[in-house]
Amino acid sequence: MINITRTNSSDRNFKNLINELDNDLKERYSNYSYKYDTDIQVDELETVTLARINEITIGCGCFKEISEGTVEIKRMFVNPYFRGLGISYKILKELLIWAKELHYTNAVLETGSEQQESISLYKTNGFVIIPNFGPYIDIPESICMVKASNSQ
């Protein structure tokens, strides 16, 4: 059974998964000039979710406010061994529900062109591609997306 829990960015399990995510991204983009997740600051966040199976932490995600009414979904990751089980879908849904509970109306995110499974997940959940924003404007490998969180 997959359990999704809410926590914060000081959670040791979240930090361990972020290290796994960073390693995964370094491997995917080793032949590119792409600087993944250039706005990576997720310290001191109270909006982190963790996915667990039998008390083993296998996935994470978080969000942070980037403007009034809008959050940015960040640091979505599922351990490769557990992919294909719908875990990222559950993490994303929990993040969107939580953002709505906190009265945010929009969610944006950035992913990379080499993360087709992520792009597919986001499109399936109602995100649409938009022009790159903020720190991603001049990064051609960045794919930015938006969704109104009230359209879950």
pLDDT digits (tens, 9 = 90+) for 5-40: 999 999 999 999 998 998 888 887 776 655 555 446
**pLDDT on residue 140:** 84
Q: What is the pLDDT of residues 57-116, one digit of tens each?
A: 999 999 999 999 999 999 999 999 999 999 999 999 999 999 999 999 999 999 988 899
Torsion of CA 42, 44, 45, 50, to 10 degrees: 80
2-151: CATH, from 3.40.630.30, 3.50.50.60, 1.10.10.10, 3.40.1390.20: 3.40.630.30
The pLDDT confidence band at residue 118, using thresholds 50, 70 and 90, is very high
For residue 131 the two structure tokens come to: 């022009």
Q: What is the C-alpha to C-alpha distance for residues 3 and 19, in angstroms, rounded to an integer?
A: 21
User: What are the extents of the domains in the chain?
Assistant: 2-151
Q: 116-124 and 87-101 helices cross at what angle (nearest 10)?
A: 50
Average pLDDT over residues 134-147: 90
